[in-house]
Amino acid sequence: MNPRRQKRLIVVSAIVLVIGAAIGLMLYALSQNIDLFYTPSEVIDGKQIGQVKEIPQVGQRLRIGGMVVPGSVKRDNDSLAVSFDLVDTGPIVTVSYHGLLPDLFREGQGIVATGVLTSTNHIKAHEVLAKHDEEYMPPELAEKMKGIKHVKPSQAYAVPKVSG
């Protein structure tokens, strides 16, 4: 091989290696900051990702979306602490939050909370978002909640049964 071509090949290979290493390090750093989206059923039962069922680990940061169970909102009179239950089509997950809730937050309404899983069915949220429009829903949650109607806060709540 010509020495000139050999030098070019070494330089190009080194550049490709450096760029590949930089991209790999960036992806590794970003993977620690990803908040995966779960529904209450997926938090308890696990999320099917390809052939593997992924169950979130205690201490993992995540986003959870579901409907606030009517009658489950408990507020602390002395602070801004509040806890409430979320449900989609199955198990119920409890969310605790310290801060001001959005104006659109209410029982029977869909919300998305970002926080840390503290036990298998409890999340300590640091952000709570309420849906603005009743017609919009994240695609993942819409698929899980097909056929479930909006529950008015005045109605008694019963966990929906899933036939399958």
Q: What is the pLDDT of residues 123-148, one digit of tens each?
A: 999 999 886 655 556 666 666 666 55
The answer to whether position 152 is within a domain reads no
Three-point CA angle 130, 131, 132, nearest 5°: 110
pLDDT bucket at 154, cuts 50 / 70 / 90: very low
* Domains: count for the chain: 2
The answer to whether position 158 is within a domain reads no
Share of the chain above pLDDT 70, in %: 76
The answer to whether position 43 is within a domain reads yes
The reply to whether 16 and 75 lie within a common domain is no
Residue 138's CATH number: 2.40.50.140
Signed CA dihedral, 139, 144, 148, 154: sign only: negative
> Is 40 within 8 Å of 88 (Cβ atoms)?
yes
- Residue position matching structure tokens 């109605």: 155
